[in-house]
Amino acid sequence: MVGRIFALCAAFSLAGCATITRGTKDVLVVNSTPGGAQVKLSDGQSCDNTPCSFKVPRKSELNVMVTKDRCKPQQIRVTNRIASGGGAAMAGNVLVGGIIGAGVDASSGAMLELVPNPVNIQLECR
């Protein structure tokens, strides 16, 4: 019994709370008005018809290019920031003594969120 408790405590101290509860990836949603536009992300992902969803690392910083025939192309920069839940998980790691877990969360990006998300683009069309 003591061995199981020790193993459980060791496992929790080696993994970050945000990494476990939030994961290291997020879904980025891209919408356009009018709909039906093509989207290309600077990481190589693309979609032929908005609205689109992409699974990207929370610590991503990328450009989103939205194009449609007879419309002016629009580009927006998506970055990241510390999420309210991510910051709380980081504080919990530090308070409970999980310095290793705090390091895991910080390096994995699990405490971050993408901004803006969703990306809403208003295309200027002729």
The mean pLDDT of 89-93, rounded to a whole number, is 54
Average pLDDT of every residue of the chain? 79
Is the pLDDT at 101 greater than 90, yes or no?
no
Contact 30, 47 (CB under 8 A): yes
Amino acid identity of residue 100, one-letter, is: I
pLDDT value of residue 52: 98
* 59 contacts: CB under 8 Å, gap ≥ 6: 24, 80, 108, 109, 112
**CB-based burial label for 67 (10 Å; 0-12, 13-18, 19+):** middle
Query: What is the Cα–Cα distance from 83 to 58, expressed in whole angstroms?
Result: 10
Range name among 5-14, 28-37, 108-117 with the lowest pLDDT average: 5-14
Model's pTM, two decimal places? 0.71
Q: Which of 95, 92, 81, 80 is nearest to 17 (CA)?
A: 92
pLDDT value of residue 23: 79
